[in-house]
Amino acid sequence: MASRDPVDGAPLRRLMVAQDLGGAIVGPVRADIFFGWGPAAEDRAGRMNALGTEFLLLPRAAQVAQATRPE
Q: How many domains does the chain have?
A: 1
- Structural domain for 57, as ranges: 1-71
> Phi and psi dihedrals of 39, rounded to 5?
-60, -40
* Tens-place pLDDT, residues 36-47: 899 998 988 888
DSSP alpha helices (H): ranges in 1-71? 39-47
* pLDDT tens digit sequence for 3-43: 888 888 889 888 887 776 667 777 666 777 888 899 998 98
Position with higher pLDDT, 49 vs 28: 49
Would you say 12 and 33 are in contact if contact means Cβ atoms under 8 Å apart? no
Closest CA to 29 of 70, 60, 71, 58: 70
Separation between Cα atoms, residue 30 and residue 11, nearest integer Å: 18
Residues 37, 40, 41: CA angle, nearest 5 degrees: 40
